[in-house]
Structure 1
Amino acid sequence: MGAAFAVLGSFREAAHREPTLTGLVDALDASVVRHNSYVARRGDDERFVTVLILNIDDARNEVQAINCGHVPPHLLDADSVITPPLDSGAPLGLAALAAEPATPGRFAFPGGTALLLTTDGLTESRAADGAFYPLDERLAGPGDLPRALNEDAHAYAGKAAPHDDVAILTVRRPHRSCTLS
């Protein structure tokens, strides 16, 4: 949990001063490296953090994103589900090991669509036979997608307790502006 808290604190500070997503990701990576340096001196295990950093540009109807080892977003409309083509970079705390620095990608976010964001706690939910939750197969569904996916994942896993946190967020773009649900 300490690495996650380090990232949250760093995000709150860096989001105000860093003008680019790349600068923000560099600041977040540095916070995990500092945290790992501190915990290593105490003899604790070092950690990494996966994140998906987004900038939703309302004027251009697009999203700029950097994926640092996180579950990719899904873009949904009435007829289709698209996983935007984003490179998946190194998780925070491991950027020094990556061959290439994190680079932002862009994708359209037109009116009438929803952007689904989840943590790996959802995709790593397992059925009794050990099969992972098939998120891509379960995306068509009712309007309250976060609640429906959460309930479906719990039913899928049965009595198995989740091994990780589950967060599900949709950002819906009506034909004029964004709303969170």
Structure 2
Amino acid sequence: MVCVPIALIVVVVLIDVLAPPHIHLGPLLVAAPAITASFAGPRLTGLVAALAVAAQALIAVLRDRDELFSANHQAQIAALVLVGASLVVFCVVRERHARELSQVRYVSETAQRVVLRPLPHRIGPLRVASLYLAAEAEAQIGGDLYAVARTGHGTRLIVGDVRGKGMTAVGDAALLLGAFRGAAHRQADLVELVTYLDGSVCWDLAEPGETDRSGETFITATVLDIPDDDDRVDMIDCGHPPPILVRGGRARVINAYQAAPPLGLGDLARPRYHVDSFGFEAGDLLLLYTDGITEARDSAGAFYPLAERIDGWTEDDPAAFLHRLRRDLLDHVGGHMGDDAAMIAIGRAPASRP
């Protein structure tokens, strides 16, 4: 790439020296360091800027020896020095910002991996695949969360989204995930589990030293109970986007009959949790996700129509399904997500024959 600005300097010098006296191409030399700054660092940009200044002085010597120190040549050389110095400063600031952003992204990704432990590919009779897509617009991480826990009779799973971004959201997500992992196998039924989770979030907001965030911080979540020996799923939806069941290539949105308020608002809403049940047979695929997917927009501002897009898909392998969904989603948004998004695909393996 550096050959382009150097070649530009050589061409400008040759043409300017050989051109008629009334034609002056010296001002075009400023393009050489400008081009270099677009792909190189401060040292190379400074070197090319120095070459441009030397080239302008050479033009003055070869064309106008008697007026080497004329006001015109002095102004052009001064302009090149000023522009070159400005570009070097710009490159220094850009590299410093890039290092800071890289460090912030590294810390963010590390924190996200600590909070969101990878899900196993096989949990009892279930095949599971998970995917987390981080927003690329900023280095802030969101509060998208998911976790699974085995019980004596099946698998319990939670997917949720903390209101807000940054380390505060990650802390709230870590709190909820810790409460879920500690209580999922001990609570007798789904209602007791969700009541406990809501209380854990409310208690955290009321801890001494915490700012009053009651009513401002909450976590939307869907909690599922999937028995090993029963072709059904029990679900409590706490203000979260509904799951989608894919059966025989047909997608069906599983809307809750009576959705509960998000976790953390229990002290305000006094909810009565309702358990919804739906069939989940061998060969079905269950998709759980956060609103970063359904709120993803294309260049025209249209939301990603998740249920419509996956209707007709016949992949029964969760990993292959998520791979196709990821590719289709990124095509819709042009390759850049505006918000973090998490998705989980679950398939029930056929019952083993005796």
TM class by smaller structure: 0.7 to 0.9
* Structure richer in helix, relative to its length: 2
Instruction: Give the alignment's TM-score, normalised by structure 1.
Output: 0.86
Instruction: Give the alignment's TM-score, normalised by structure 2.
Output: 0.46
Distance across 2 between alignment mates of 1:42 and 1:59: 44
- CA shift, 1:147, in A, is 1.4
Question: 2:262 corresponds to which residue?
Answer: 91
Match of 1:132 among 298, 303, 306: 303
Question: 2:224 corresponds to which residue?
Answer: 54
Counterparts of residues 95-134 of structure 1 (less than 5 Å): 95-98=266-269, 100-134=271-305
Match of 1:141 among 313, 316, 319: 313
Q: Larger relative CO (CA 8 A, sep 6+): 1 or 2?
A: 1
Match of 1:43 among 211, 234, 251: 211
Question: 2:183 corresponds to which residue?
Answer: 14
- CA shift, 1:159, in A, is 5.3
Greater radius of gyration (CA): 2
Question: 2:67 corresponds to which residue?
Answer: none
Distance across 2 between alignment mates of 1:42 and 1:112: 47
Amino acid at match of 1:174: A
- CA shift, 1:95, in A, is 2.3
SS at match of 2:219: coil
Distance across 1 between alignment mates of 2:185 and 2:324: 35
Structure 2, unaligned stretches of length 5 or more?
1-169
- Percent of aligned positions with the same letter in both sequences? 37
Question: 1:73 corresponds to which residue?
Answer: 243
Distance across 1 between alignment mates of 2:233 and 2:308: 24
Structure 1, unaligned stretches of length 5 or more?
none
27 and 80 in structure 1: CA distance in 2 versus 1, 3 angstrom threshold: same
Compute the RMSD of aligned alpha carbons. 2.0
Question: 2:198 corresponds to which residue?
Answer: 29
The question of whether the paired residues in 2 share the 8 Å contact of 1:113 and 1:173 is answered with yes
The question of whether the paired residues in 2 share the 8 Å contact of 1:128 and 1:160 is answered with no
Distance across 1 between alignment mates of 2:186 and 2:349: 30
